[in-house]
A and B are shown apart, each in its own frame.
Chain A
Amino acid sequence: MNLFDFIAGHYDYWFIIILLAIGLYGMTVKKNLVKKLIGMTIFQAAVILFYISSAIKADATVPIIMENLSVDNPANYINPLPHALMLTAIVVGVATVGVAFTLLILIYKNYKTLDENELLELMK
């Protein structure tokens, strides 16, 4: 397998790595707290995409029993478990974002700003 095939064959993983990097960048470098939160959401979405894309099998279909496809051969159906796990992870992510926005509203009420530098200045 040459290098081009390696890169092209794993294109979904490269995409996920880029998303992970964007998420981490947003969380650590951005000074606005809402942008930090957006970075966190991107990071979580990348992990979710990682599970989903790893569950794919070539020439397989959705895991619902079909009459013309044998159930004995698991290669006919893609793996449904990662999807089920990620439904839970999405719910967790929604809850996290909800709590985060509540905290942001509280911060804004207390200090009238969401910029990290200004907040640190005000807290001295």
Chain B
Amino acid sequence: MIEKNLPAIIPLLFLFASLIIPLLGVWKKNLAYPIAALTALTSAILSLYGFVFVILTGPINYYFGGWIPPVGIEYVYDHLSSFVVLVINFVALFVIAYSYQPVEKELPGKQTAYYSVVMLLLTGFNGMIITGDLFNLYVFIEISSLASYALIGVGDKKAPFAAFKYLIIGTIGASFYLLGIGYLYFMSGTLNMNDLYNILPHMNDSPTIIVALILIVVGLGIKMAIFPMHGWLPDSYTHAPSSSSALIAPIGTKVGAYAMIRLLYFVFGLNYFSQELAVSDLIAIFSSAGIIFGSILAIAQKEMKRMLAYSSVAQIGYIGLGIGLANPFGFIGAVLHLLNHAFMKATLFMVAGSIITKEGHSDIFKFDDTYRKKYPWTMAAFTVAALSMVGLPPLAGFFSKWYLALGTIENSSWLFLAVILISSLLNAVYFFRILEKVYMKSPDASEVKEEVKRNEIQFSMLMPILVLAIGLIVLGILNFIIVEHIYKMMPEGMFSL
């Protein structure tokens, strides 16, 4: 019985938690964290169960109120969405488990409100992934965006301005998306994704559909922060509280990327956006520009969170490149990188947050070899994640780049192949800079130094970081199982092109 209702249970569970936390918060202040963690744990278990269930018996379709689509709203739990829900909920579980100490330190007395908004954010993200209805997707985009403006706005002194800029840009994006689905609706008379997929081939040459496609790509591109629509991202991630940026950075843009994959591959159809129009080429070109631009600006940063934010712009470019290649290897690369980058960025932002909690800053130039002695495990996890970002086998990051490179070779787009290789070198530059400072003794440091005591971060913060870092090794070694599963997620007829 539970599996039939699973697609609706997961978002509603988070919505229920976001309402119950402030109600119980009036009675007891310190209940917020346990309820949030428990909800995240429950939905992670539920999504794991749903994932296995979908593999064994096939996709689940849930109809709200029993109304059959296209009249009613449909929630779809297929191979692709069950996989992304699993990734999102597991990363969210670890970040929420980690967030107890940082939130207590950075936002004292505001835990109740903070965790309530976090639950609202996860309602939006899970809803965006599971829904099979275009207008429902818009509503969930706005729920998750409003929650993330609030989570970013509670950061340091500059955070409200960064959040306001994000709000203006994000609302433009969502309005473009709304305008685009308006065009689709008035042309086809339906808002159901599956229904549209069947109707659209009959009206392919209509200019209205082309405009709709462009509006939707621009709207979701802003949510996903594809270059040159990434302007809101670096400031927001830098000034947000470290627990917020650890939550939003790995998940937020990934869900935007998922919505882009869903709309392009499963609504407009592969043939339409890659063969009849050159939209896929445009996405690939802008993404590769973003890869280079983000990597170069990441090298120029002095502050660790800001560096990671620019690195996010570059990494989103990889997913965009995979979407734009529009061939099976590109699709595998995009979906695999969605998983890998969620794990890597969560680890890196949690390490940055830990250093800020302990040292009070995250200025790269103040890092030295005492960090290795003070935080041996944190730095080990950082090293694993950084090497994975660079793309060293057998870590997870290598394999997504490998499939993307195979995709560029299949399309004979040598320029994109060069972009992937060059950006790996640039990644190495900005991560090895930190590794060198932490693991090598500075030559001009004074010989005699007082003994540095081991001062590792608390267990509740260290544990999630270590689990995700070990996860990167495991994902890398087991990647062939995941890739085999990704073949099932592809839209029909992907190989025949």
Contacts and interface: CB of A to CB of B under 8 A. Distances in A.
B179 interface: yes
Interface string A52-92: 00100000000000000000000000000010010011001
Contacts of A51: 182
Nearest to A48: B178
Q: Chain A contact residues: over half helix, strand or loop, or mixed?
A: helix
A99 B146 contact: yes
B142 A96 contact: yes
Given A47-B178, A95-B146, A99-B149, A104 B171 contact: no
A8 interface: no
B69 interface: no
B175 A47 contact: yes
Contacts of B161: 103, 107, 119, 123
A54 B168 contact: no
B168 to A, nearest CB: 6
A110 B156 CA distance: 10
A40 B175 CA distance: 10
* Most-contacted residue by chain B among A27, A54, A95, A99 (CB, 10 A): A99
Contact of B153 (A37, A82, A92, A106): A106
Nearest to A106: B160
B153 A54 contact: no
Contact of B160 (A36, A37, A110): A110
Contacts of A96: 142, 146, 167, 171
Contact of A103 (B142, B164, B186): B164
A36 B172 CA distance: 12
A47 B182 contact: yes
Interface string B155-169: 001101101100110
A44 B171 contact: yes
A33 interface: yes
Contacts of A95: 142, 146
12 contacts: A36-B168, A40-B171, A43-B171, A47-B175, A47-B178, A47-B182, A50-B179, A89-B178, A92-B142, A103-B161, A103-B163, A104-B164
Interface of A: 24, 27, 33, 36-37, 40, 43-44, 47, 50-51, 54, 82, 85, 88-89, 92, 95-96, 99-100, 102-104, 106-107, 110, 119, 123
Of all A-B residue pairs in the complex, the 6 with the closest CB atoms, nearest first, are A106-B160, A103-B164, A92-B142, A107-B160, A103-B160, A54-B186
Given A89-B138, A102-B150, 9 more contacts: A43-B175, A44-B171, A50-B182, A89-B178, A96-B142, A99-B153, A104-B160, A106-B153, A107-B161
